[in-house]
Structure 1
Amino acid sequence: MKTNILNKIILGFLAIITMTACDDREIVQVENSTDPIVVDLSAQNLFLDQNFPNNPALTISWSAASYSVPVSISYSVEVSADEAFTAPYEVSKVTESNRTVTYTASQVNSAAQAIGLKEDIAAKMYVRVTSYLGSGDLATKSNVTSLMVTPYKLVYPDFYLVGEAGYMGWTATSAQVFHKKDNLSYIYTYLENGKDFRFLGQMDWNPINYSLDVAGIKDAYKYFKQTSTNITKSGNDENMTFTGETGIYKVIIDADKAAQSLNATVSKIQTFDVPQLYVYGNIAGNGGNAQNAIAMTKVSAGIFEYTATLAADTDFKFLGQQAEGDLEWGNISGEGNTGFIGPIGDEGSVKFTGDGSSYKITVNIKAGTYKIVKQ
């Protein structure tokens, strides 16, 4: 009996020693030995040429960061408009095996405008490299160097909506292009609850696709850094899901490099399937009289047509009743002839220069578009 008790005491003591030894082995102190140092910029003055956006423009090289034990290191190349890096912009991440990176004129131009440099004006761009472990542990900064950059006017991409959340479904050749003004692309269009979508860079599946910039999305598709709360990651690695109530939304994309955001807000007119649509203005003798607005022909839900002779100074709007009221649409965000409609409060007259010929006007409220075609 005494022997058994003694054996148990000895085993317990050995277990405590073993656990302590294991704990000691798990504690590894990792310290940074040297900072990464930017050792070379291939140019000190860059005049970026928009005619050759894919040409190599700038190469950055730096020495390796070192730590007290062997670890996996990643690098981030950052630029800023000031030496203090008050608002740094990450140009790219670089794996441990590479300590030299070359950027095209387009990439440098995008980075320059992301930090606020103005087109056609030479200004200083500051450069540094940050080394870190894992997702950002033990981050250390390099010294700061700089160069003069003259950017050109940035051309923002076109965005085409595709997916079962929209009216067009998954037909790439029918993808809905957005109205674009500088860095903003927007439209009033139909979105359906619980359905998936994404954006294309063309009316084809390739080469460009845009989705959320989050873990689990294909790297080549990552783009949107910020979204409204009614847009979430889909269950696959390609798409987004719309979680808002079904209806008409103003969908806005900000393609500025500092934003790359996507937001969907409810339109003032949430429905598209109105019983009747009317046109009024200096068209077909209407004389801008809402009470005598001219009925259009209903083709299908939300789609209406009307054919008339259009003069050089034609302007008109669309009504959902023969009176000025809540149901009113016009050219999106002011007067013009963009081909996109906006609801009351975000609309102007459609301004069209006709030649006295017959034209067919087609309005698609669900898609957020109109078109005027000579007959």
Structure 2
Amino acid sequence: MSALSGEELDLLEAIEHAPILDRTLDWAAINSGTGNLDGLAAMADRLAHAFAALPGEVRLVDPAPVEKVDGKGQLREVGHGRHLVLSVRPEADHRVILTGHMDTVYAREHPFQSCTWLDADTLNGPGTADMKGGLSLMLAGLLAFEQGTPMMGYDVLINSDEETGSLSSAALIAQLAQVKLAALTYEPGLPDGSMARARPGSGNYAAVVTGLSAHAGRNPQDGRNAVLAAGDLGLRLAAGIRDGLTINPARIEGGAPNNTVPDLAILHFNLRPRSPELAEVARALLEAAVAEVSAVHDVHIHLHGHVSRPPKPITPKTEALFGLVSKAAADLGQPMRWQDTGGVCDGNNIAACGVPVLDTMGALGGSIHSPQEFMIASSLDARARLTALVLHRLDRGALHA
């Protein structure tokens, strides 16, 4: 660590592995699946208490209303947990934002609920990498940063709905990201330390197809088969896949008894454009497919959804931020790579506000969103040191000089 100054070494000395790991284990024991409102409330309380150790104001913000198409093709409101916001030195000339999420993909009823050590450094557990370990090390890095003489301000946002697209927190993300110097988001890094570079956009849709019921034996010609139309729509959308644009028809709901022409079907699908131009291509493709299927099958199609996470391109400001972070990592003996990924996260939303963001600052791990999820425990204090050092150098003008 010869490249570190004496002041930097003093900051990093306060970071210890055991407290970060203990918090991670404690938080991973709380089921906070996006739909488990009781679990999210418990997690928010635990986080509010922990982050109160930092200067500034901690508050819990109510989620914005969100509607979802149900199995009957009707819009219904979906409940979400509250979001945690911490604001420190709001009057500072230069401020950054750090973000993470308290929700996981594991529902209250999911069998994956406890942690198991696979070896001395590999912890298998729900949300350990994605991202309760990241939240814990973020806090440790901020506490170390505050041991110096910081002048830079920051906001911390920990939302409750990232795993389902951040629909109830998108406006809050945009509000807090405004005029920030930079952003750090605590999605997990890959086991070798690699970080995510460019990301595609993402949109989740539900196409509600309304046909006309009829007897499947006596007069099927009088019916308008909604399931058939939904299947045709899915095939037409899949035919639009091209380089830089993926479309995934994922599920068809609805239908009717075997002796009835079904008059309702709901096609759920996801699309991911790599650029704003491809997002426009996708929009035109959707409009054309819906019009064609509606005409061919004589059905009505209502499309619900939008690209909620814009594509995240790499800008010169993003390159500069990665340069700062990769230099800090190298000075700590943590060399890293930067590679494009097909996943999306709140970093997409922040980048859309014109703020450079590095969105894999969390613990190293893998197999996320599965019962094989694992976290590399030694990365907790390593990444906490990286957080503290990056914040310190941002505070000293490394990015805005």
TM range (shorter): under 0.3
TM value normalised by structure 1 = 0.21
Q: Which has the higher contact order (CA 8 A, sep 6+)?
A: 2
TM value normalised by structure 2 = 0.20
Q: Which structure has the bigger radius of gyration?
A: 1
